[in-house]
Amino acid sequence: MKILSIGNSFSQDAHRYLHGVAKADEFNLKVVNLYIGGCTLRTHYLNMLDDVASYSFEFNGETTGIKVSIRQALVSDDWDYITLQQASPLSAKEETYFPYIEEIAKYVRKYCPKTKIVLHQTWAYENRSERLAQLGFETHEQMLENLSKAYENAALSIGADGIIPCGKVMYWAQKNGIKCVHRDSFHAAFGIGRYLLALTWYAFLTGNSIDENTFNDFDESVSRDEQEIAIQTINEIVKGKVL
């Protein structure tokens, strides 16, 4: 399976362990992230129009030093999935998605007509975060509710093939007992946060079981208890048991 993400640091978080999780399951997975820090849908759209090679080409969770344009990445392989997302500060503002996500989806389908487009649902900021307050939210739940609706409506507008439920997973992992999934109140923690995201992507996109996955090569320690909570949470959400 081949996955390309037109993203930013949040897709970078999701990709860090994704190839490793697949490898531990003996599943052949290629993942590429097009990275510009904080990149919004509007900026992706403008970069698309200008065909500028301004994206860092990240391969299987690692930097390469290569710079590419969106078009160059699209035509570089036969992608099974291409993911789109909004930058996290704008994720709860539905009006910021349009018309950019629609135009990007058209562009993707022009060069990759057989590829499935899915949205990477980003996640809400940590409670009591200054960044959360700056966006006008009092709680993590309020931001998550707004961004969830925005992603759902964006998915409908472009006829997306699904939404990877990372925001929901990050929220319920904490409700289920993981103390902190963020590293700086908004990015994913280097250990458990990125692990949650990788497992979510893997389970959602491949349909494979994560129950016995042996991946354990973390940049920051993850306890066995945290791994068990992660697996339980993701299974409940991906299988639709948690709304």
89 domain residue, yes or no: yes
Question: Over 80: is that where the pLDDT of 72 sits?
Answer: yes
Residue 243 lies in a domain: no
Has this prediction a pTM greater than 0.85? Answer: yes
Percentage of the chain beyond pLDDT 70 is: 99
Q: What is the pLDDT of residue 233?
A: 97
Q: Do residues 80 and 89 make contact, with C-beta atoms less than 8 angstroms apart?
A: no
Instruction: Return the pLDDT at 229.
Output: 98
Q: The domain containing residue 146 runs over which residues?
A: 2-238
Asked if residue 79 belongs to a domain, the reply is: yes
What residue type is 80 in one-letter code? D
Determine, yes or no, domain membership for 24. Answer: yes
Question: Does the residue 144 lie in any domain?
Answer: yes
Is the predicted pLDDT of residue 55 greater than 80, yes or no? Answer: yes
How many domains is the chain partitioned into structurally?
1
Answer yes or no: is pLDDT of 3 > 50. yes
pLDDT value, residue 152: 98
How does pLDDT run across 152-184, given as a tens digit for each residue? 999 999 999 999 999 999 999 999 999 999 999
Average pLDDT over residues 145-151: 98
Which CATH number do you get for residue 84? 3.40.50.1110
In a domain, 34, yes or no: yes
Residues 229-233: what's their mean pLDDT? Answer: 97
Give the pLDDT of residue 198.
98
Q: How high is the mean pLDDT of the chain? A: 97
pLDDT at 243: 47
